[in-house]
Amino acid sequence: MFYITTAIDYTNGSPHIGHAYEKVLADVLARWHRMQGEEVYLLTGVDQHGQKVQQSAEKAGVSPQEYANEVTAQFIALWKRLGISYDGWAATTDPRHERCVQRILMELKERGLLYKKSYTGFYSVRQEQFLTDKERREGGDFGPEWGDVIELEEENWYFRLTDQAEWLKGFVEKSSSFVLPNFRKQELLYAIERAFDNDLCISRPKERLSWGIPLPFDPNFVTYVWFDALINYISFAGYLAEEGSALPRFEKLWPAACEVIGKDILVPAHGIYWPAMLHAIGLPDEDMPGLLVHGWWNLKGSKMSKTLGNIVDPNELADKFGVEALRYYLVRDIKTGHDADFDPDRLVMLYNTELANDLGNLCNRSLNMCMKYSGGIVSAPEGDDELSSELRLSLSKMESSFSDAMNQAQVSEALAALNAHVKACNSYIEQKQPWALAKSPEKKSELDRALGHLLESCAHAAFLLGCVLPDASSRMLTQLDAARLLQDKTPDSLAWGILPAGHSVHAPAPVFPRILSEEEKARSAAKMAGRRK
């Protein structure tokens, strides 16, 4: 079982391409593991509680639940549009989740791992949060962004995080799979050295924040949003679920959990609070999840943010360039773990070159030539000439690189390997010149071999692309009439000979229509108008 989850998105604002990237990445990995024949469960969802949602709701003049529902609907619609194949939906206002959070709180309290204490500190009225020395400016004061800062005494509930420090340090040091990529593990270890001065405050007084899960043992408080949200990974996996619940069985999904999260929420939430919480509730080291930490999409080198007003809307991109171009770009132009700069010109360039020109053209030409020269029937003559044997080798090398890269979540590398082979096929066409072979009847078997090789490569490429662009893949496989031939295949069992001798293919239809620039569109409109005259 491969249990894969993503961060759950805050419902205090509309989805942007950062959210979309993470879900597409998780979806591609889930599809890849399904193709491998593994049983996969992909969980994603929304983080609906907390101060930000309460504030946005107040501004909009609606209840926090109404506000969260409205934003949740936007996420759901986007995931549907982008083809995110999730199996479970984690919404933190779901009563099944609330119940699980409350049961965990009760248990920790009964075991003496939670305590109440009073804290006096500097509080920003505008931001509604306590400030620490980290928020002080060089001169020692707090900046104007915090508004009025007052000294406030407040009682709250705390989780004994400091008790977990020794264990966590040892665990992270020795584990080779808890955090990937490896440089993030170093970052986490560095943070752990500094993180444990204080226990974790896990409550907020109701008079300050009412939009949260009430503490089951103290009705004047609600649960801190991170403590609530992190639990989604286990609550929706069936942890402490009621008898007869429709949730999955926890023992089935856990511990094979891979949590796909952005770099900003590794420290302290996922790298410190979360393993400490899991350890405190009794999970052994071997049951800790793995964290796949991805980088960020930035815009012209700077962070995308609502305040800067430079958020890129995935729906607008999908309207303009299509879902497939967007999905492809989001995983093709970023190295998993690292940041990248979002650039719509590169989106168009990568789609037009690698999909429209390279792969689209390859399938189109190969099918067309097979229709024209062999009546749409594939034949597979024995033996290889030099060029064909090179192409066969290129295909098998591509497949192992593709697999290796995907198994390490390096989708961009996998797609680069695929594209390199597609390019090799296109140069094979140029070198073989099937149209010239077709002129000499004695070259018939060389022609058949060339077309057989090309169509075989198309079938393999279309199959592998299925984890990134499932719809395009299925359109290609339909034209090749190869879907049923690949039904029981996994990438590892993808040997030569998918298309048997005598197999019929269909006439092609463009799978990746070129994205035209505004100029090209204007030119082609003018041409059309000229023709009509």
Residues that bind ligand MSP (CB under 6 A): 7-10, 18-19, 21-22, 47, 229-230, 232, 261-262, 264-265, 296-297, 304
- Shortest distance, CB of residue 12 to ligand MSP, whole angstroms? 8
- Shortest distance, CB of residue 278 to ligand MSP, whole angstroms? 13
Cα 512 to Cα 413: distance, rounded to the nearest angstrom: 21
Cα 63 to Cα 66: distance, rounded to the nearest angstrom: 5
Q: Which is nearer to ligand MSP, 22 or 448 (CB)?
A: 22
- Shortest distance, CB of residue 478 to ligand MSP, whole angstroms? 34
- Shortest distance, CB of residue 156 to ligand MSP, whole angstroms? 21
Q: Which is nearer to ligand MSP, 214 or 295 (CB)?
A: 295
- Shortest distance, CB of residue 84 to ligand MSP, whole angstroms? 13
> Residue 67: which residues within 8 A CB-CB, separation 6 or more?
11, 53, 56, 57, 60
Q: Which is nearer to ligand MSP, 277 or 348 (CB)?
A: 277
- Shortest distance, CB of residue 255 to ligand MSP, whole angstroms? 17
**Contact by Cβ (8 Å): 465, 472:** yes
Give backbone dihedrals phi and psi of 434, rounded to 5 degrees, phi first: -55, -35
Q: Which is nearer to ligand MSP, 291 or 424 (CB)?
A: 291
Q: Which is nearer to ligand MSP, 293 or 486 (CB)?
A: 293
**Contact by Cβ (8 Å): 86, 28:** no
Pairing outcome for strands 2-6 and 40-47: parallel
Q: Which is nearer to ligand MSP, 261 or 323 (CB)?
A: 261
Cα-based angle 247, 250, 255 (whole degrees, multiple of 5): 140
Three-class secondary structure of residue 105 per DSSP: helix
Give backbone dihedrals phi and psi of 299, rounded to 5 degrees, phi first: -125, 120
- Shortest distance, CB of residue 287 to ligand MSP, whole angstroms? 18
- Which helix (H) or strand (E) element contains residue 258? strand 257-262
Distances (CA, A) of 496 to 37, 381, 400, 428, 522: 19, 13, 13, 18, 45
- Shortest distance, CB of residue 75 to ligand MSP, whole angstroms? 9
Q: Closest CB to ligand MSP belongs to which residue? A: 262
Q: Which is nearer to ligand MSP, 235 or 419 (CB)?
A: 235
**Contact by Cβ (8 Å): 119, 156:** yes
Cα 71 to Cα 80: distance, rounded to the nearest angstrom: 14
Q: Which is nearer to ligand MSP, 73 or 526 (CB)?
A: 73
Task: Give the closest residue to 11 by CA, choosing from 59, 61, 51.
Answer: 51
Q: Which is nearer to ligand MSP, 9 or 199 (CB)?
A: 9
Cα 317 to Cα 346: distance, rounded to the nearest angstrom: 13
Distances (CA, A) of 485 to 15, 397, 498: 39, 22, 6
Retrieve residue 171's tokens: 């665990």
- Shortest distance, CB of residue 269 to ligand MSP, whole angstroms? 7
Q: Which is nearer to ligand MSP, 255 or 508 (CB)?
A: 255
- Shortest distance, CB of residue 276 to ligand MSP, whole angstroms? 14
Q: Considering just the CA atoms, what is the radius of gyration of the chain in Å?
A: 27
- Shortest distance, CB of residue 61 to ligand MSP, whole angstroms? 23
Q: Which is nearer to ligand MSP, 340 or 418 (CB)?
A: 340
- Shortest distance, CB of residue 298 to ligand MSP, whole angstroms? 7
Q: Which is nearer to ligand MSP, 123 or 227 (CB)?
A: 227
Q: What's the gap between Cα 411 and its chain centre?
A: 10
CA dihedral 62, 68, 74, 77 (to 10 degrees): -130
Distances (CA, A) of 413 to 290, 293, 406, 463: 21, 17, 8, 17
DSSP string, 319-348: HHH-HHHHHHHHHHSS-TTS-EE--HHHHH
Cα 201 to Cα 404: distance, rounded to the nearest angstrom: 43
Cα 477 to Cα 483: distance, rounded to the nearest angstrom: 5
Report the residue count for the chain. 533
